Structure 1
Amino acid sequence: MTDRALSRLPVDDSLRIEMTGYQWWWEAKYLSDANAPEFTLANELHVPVGRPVIISLKAADVIHTFWVPNLHGKKDMIPGRDTTIEFRADKAGVYRGQCAEFCGYEHALMAFTISADPPAQYAAWAAQQRQPAAKPVDALALHGRDVFISQDCARCHTVRGTDATGTIGPDLTHLASRQFIAAGTLANNRGNLAGWIVDPRTLKPGTIMPGTRLPPADLQALLVWLETLK
């Protein structure tokens, strides 16, 4: 009965998102909505309560499965075979999602969240996400941005509003607004972020992200700048 109800879900005026599964994280591209520009983020989605959502599902490498059990059933993501899933969150809250298809070493640590927000709160969040990264306002944060740009970080990650335009890893434009890092593996705080930068494979074995050893002063400046990306 639930499946039949979901299959008849009206999808007029739907929010459209493209979601791609990677080993082992999620990229979400919010398509243009009411003439507002698209934007990209990773691992943590927001949707407005009461509005249908259509997510186009893609896999970049191996088979993944999109699964948010409190919103819908499972949907496989097969390389070269795009599909969609539709749902509507009728209650505000945070819904946990998980890859439900064994996709390699870190399959169990490939999670994401969907926050269902009241429409006005969602609109404010989306407007913020469309903005480029805030410019540093003090010397320490400015130095941290320069460290990011000068290291391999900028070759793998995008931070809109800077010279970092990498596409291998997650978009970090608003990293500090996210609750978790490493696809739901770690709380987003300074200690975990420092450990992830220096030696990510200790925290999440199998990740393709290399460690970046920095002088302590440079690492602290980098962390200060990353914390401004809200």
Structure 2
Amino acid sequence: MLPDHATRSRMSGAGKIGLAALTLTGCGGPQSVLNTAGSDARVLLTMLSVMLVGLVIIWILVNGMMLFFNQLQTGAHEERYARYLIVGGGIFFPTLVITALLVWGLSIMPDQRAPGDGLRVEVTGEQWWWRIAYWPEGAETPVIAANEIRLPVGQRVEFDLKSARVIHSFWIPALGGKMDMFPGRDTRLSLEPTEVGIFRGQCAEFCGASHALMAFHVVTMEPADFDAWLAAQAAPAMAPDGDLARRGAAIFAEQGCGACHAVRGSDASGQVGPDLTHVGSRLSLGAGILAPTLANYMAWIDHTGDIKPEVEMPAYDHLGDDELTALATYLMGLK
């Protein structure tokens, strides 16, 4: 027996509510503006919420007025009354509400160009990865890393943003707004994390074939933990541990990997590709797209261009499985 019209309407309404609830569950996660973990992101979310409420009020009143006069009161109206209604309800009121929201929004906008509290992080957008340099206050040389950013909570950190070739856009949704990166020009913003956690950043400006594969993890830490981590990152690479890792280090040198990559504490001093001194301690491989497992390290070395189209790193598909295993073991041991 088929359900009647009322039953079908209730089923349809329930289905819509269920679909809406299912949609909202996808709004969280490590790369969501709704999952705030910084003072700037919290202000932006407040602005979004208040402005959305204001716009909904305008929409309801304007469309309610149209519904009232089209469906409920369809007779002739006095011209003067109609003119006041159109000008006041259709022009003056929306303009007043939107202007008030704009003035309020500008007054509470996060000061993402304010100076930092000491730590400066230089980020350069490459094709398609992130070159990272940490400059603690008073430091004469930076601590070099790649494809992962770690920050102390409770401190405003200043970012110096650069681009090597094309326009990129630096964005950590959980911490704040985005900022474009231009070749030949430095841009700047500052962010203040307020919660410890792991979040995700992304290039938000189309920059080429692997734009969607240009991501990074952001780890916010207690200040003491961050200081200890930064000190460890400044140290040279650990010596290979075990015969397999030592063989991998030899293959790394034989294949000329050190011409593009640096491993501080070894003869590898290349500046073209990411610094690999502590690559084994990072939470991802290939700029936020692969989990750091042995199989993924081997696949990345063997099929680089298949995983990230048009990447500059050549694929080392001439290596055998045993050589790939040794090389991947060596890289994973660079903690």
TM-score normalised per structure 2: 0.65
Q: Distance in 2 between matches of 1:154 and 1:194?
A: 18
- Aligned pair count reads 230
Match of 2:198 among 94, 98, 101: 94
Q: Which amino acid aligns with 2:224?
A: A
Deviations 1:42-96 (A, max 9, x none): 1111010101100100000100001111211111101011011101001111221
Change (3 A) 1:22 1:9: closer
Q: 1:94 to 1:202 in 2, by over 3 A?
A: same
Secondary structure of the residue aligned to 1:168 is coil
State the partner residue of 1:220: 325
What is the deviation of 1:137? 3.4
Map 1:170-209 → 2, pairs under 5 A: 170-209=274-313
Report SS of the residue matched to 2:259: helix
Which structure: greater strand fraction? Answer: 1
Contact 1:148 1:222 in 2 (8 A): yes
- Opposite residue 326 of structure 2, the aligned amino acid is A
2: CA distance, partners of 1:177 / 1:102? 29
> 1:14 and 1:69 mapped to 2: Cα distance?
23
CA distance in 2, matches of 1:195, 1:76: 32
Q: Which residue identity lines up with residue 328 of structure 2 in the other structure?
A: L
Contact 1:37 1:130 in 2 (8 A): no
| 1:200 Cα deviation from its structure 2 partner | 0.7
Matched, 1:18 2:18: no
5+ unaligned residues in a row in structure 1: which ranges? none
SS in 1 for 2:110: helix
The structure having more radius of gyration, on CA atoms, is: 2
Partner Cα separation in structure 2 for residue 11 and residue 70 of structure 1: 20
Question: What is the rounded CA distance, in whole Å, between the counterparts of 2:112 and 2:258 in structure 1?
Answer: 44
The alpha-carbon distance between structure 1 residues 12 and 164, as it changes in their structure 2 partners (threshold 3 A), is closer
The residue number in structure 1 matching 2:7 is none
Equivalent positions of 1:41-190 (< 5 A) are 41-190=145-294
* 1:165-185 superposed Cα distances (whole Å, 9 cap, x missing partner): 111110011011011111111
- 4+ residue runs over 3 A deviation: 1-5, 8-12, 32-37
Where structure 2 has 5 or more consecutive residues not aligned to the other structure, the ranges are: 1-42, 45-105
Mapped to 1, the partners of 2:124 and 2:157 lie a distance apart of: 16
1:35, distance to aligned residue in structure 2 (A): 4.4
1:118-166 deviation line (CA, Å, top 9, x unaligned): 1111111111101100012333222211110111311111111111111
Aligned-residue identity in percent: 44
TM-score normalized by structure 1?
0.93
